[in-house]
Amino acid sequence: MASPAANNLLYPGGTGDVVVSISNPNPFPVTITAVNLPTNTTYATGYTTSSLTTTQSGCLASTPSGVTWSFATGTSGSSHTLTTPLTVGASGQADNPLVVTLTNDASMASSAPAACESTYFSLPSLTGVTATGGSATATASPATDSWTS
């Protein structure tokens, strides 16, 4: 089950929250300041439960589901600065993995299939992040963040 649960749920023509878990395999903390998104035509796949084990018939990335990352563009790798930098603790430390709710960072097209109603989504992988390593204090988990453009 996704924990914490998203507060802003997706609906056709709207945006919703995304809950992610970020792991850091390094022996030092890593601070993430931006994310790189796949294209706005790289869609999420729908699932019947929050465990994301059984796909929702008629609501697949190939259907398409109409669900993408908010502010994704036609160019893969577009960079979007986080509202607040996130620091993931070193490997084996507290707050690694870091659970983050990304507020309103998923979008659903108004033309999304009816099969996508009341569905959990696995968004496509980010194409990269902007991050630095160092000795910063880890962000407490769970956290909330977003990008606005």
Largest alpha-carbon pair distance within the chain?
48
pTM of the model: 0.92
Q: What is the mean pLDDT of the chain?
A: 94
Model confidence at 4, pLDDT cuts 50, 70, 90, reads low
Pairing of strands 30-37, 78-88: antiparallel
The first and second tokens of residue 84, run together, are 């607040």
Condensed to tens digits (0 to 9), the pLDDT of residues 30-67 reads 999 999 999 999 999 999 999 999 999 999 999 999 99
Rounded to an integer, the average pLDDT of 8-31 is 95
Condensed to tens digits (0 to 9), the pLDDT of residues 65-91 reads 999 999 999 999 999 999 999 999 999
Burial class of residue 20, CB neighbours in 10 A (0-12, 13-18, 19+): middle
Indicate the domain borders of the chain: 15-134
Burial 119-140 (b: 16+ CB within 10 A, else e): bbbebbeebeeebeeeebebbe
